[in-house]
Amino acid sequence: MFKNTRMLAEAGIMVGLALALWYFNAGQLPQGGSISLQMLPLLVFALRWGAGPGIVVGMAYGFLHSLQDMFVLHPLQYLLDYPIAFGLIGLAGLVKNLRVNRVVSILLAIAILVSGVIIFHYTMVSTAEVKTQITQLEQQLLVASPDEKPELEEELQDLKSKAQFFPVGGYVVLASSVIAFLAICYGSWKRTYATPVELGALLGGAGRFLSHFLSGYVFFSQYAPEGMNPWVYSLVVNFLVVAPSTLLALVIILIIWRPLEKAANVNSD
């Protein structure tokens, strides 16, 4: 009974804290979304209480967060971008009682690093294609009629914005994969506690990313520049939001987890 009461109390505190932390964000990114520490309380709760409670609390937060920052094109898109996306952060709780071999952790870290390099490469290739489209569009503008120019100018402005945005996204993907690699290696070799929190945080972040990624591909692929694979577009746009938020939370969790665990054990005695 005490544990259930305590869990409910922590759930309320963590949801409230996540709602508050969202306001301290890095501002809206050009393609939507923002970088903040809103994931931190949700990850901590899931790591402490497990995947089931973590998913429920994440979904509750997703519904409430939608009242803070709602953008809806379709009911399914709403579910994917809010309750499901934040509910899947609770997957971090799957590692609560997990014991992971160091070799497995290192192999996972290498896979993440290699994936980041591959995504970075495709992002740079796509950026080059966008720049080619910009050149072609500028040439079309020179011979366009007055009626055609407004539409072409709007398209050109959009492409220029994406030409600036995607290289940044590519470097964020690369940097995030390197940081994730280092965090997993550090966690697996230097960890002084049983729970592999670094894997849990990345798993929760991956769950949120997957939901946003599917939403982006299904409902926002029309915003991808001509010639760019919508999968790549959705991947880069959503990775740029989720990866920094996840890694910020991960770094803080690696710092606070040991004292947090000690405090929780003392209070439970």
For residue range 134-179, list pLDDT tens digits in order. 888 888 888 888 888 888 887 777 777 777 777 877 787 788 888 8
For residue range 193-203, list pLDDT tens digits in order. 667 888 899 89
For residue range 62-85, list pLDDT tens digits in order. 999 999 888 888 999 999 999 999
Of the listed ranges 9-13, 70-74, 203-207, 230-234, the least confidently predicted one is 230-234
Structure confidence at residue 2 as a pLDDT band (50, 70, 90): very low
Between 265 and 268, residue with greater pLDDT: 265
pTM reported for the whole predicted model: 0.78
Q: What is the pLDDT of residue 268?
A: 54
- At 156, list the tokens: 């050109």
Structure confidence at residue 189 as a pLDDT band (50, 70, 90): confident
Q: What is the pLDDT of residue 27?
A: 64
Domains assigned to the chain: 2-24+32-268 (1.10.1760.20)
Q: What is the pLDDT of residue 191?
A: 64
Q: What is the pLDDT of residue 98?
A: 75
For residue range 15-68, list pLDDT tens digits in order. 999 999 998 877 666 566 778 899 999 999 999 999 999 999 999 999 999 998
Structure confidence at residue 192 as a pLDDT band (50, 70, 90): low
For residue range 84-128, list pLDDT tens digits in order. 999 999 999 998 877 777 777 788 888 888 988 887 887 788 778
pLDDT, mean of residues 244-255: 86
Q: What is the pLDDT of residue 194?
A: 66
- Mean pLDDT rounded to a whole number for the chain: 84
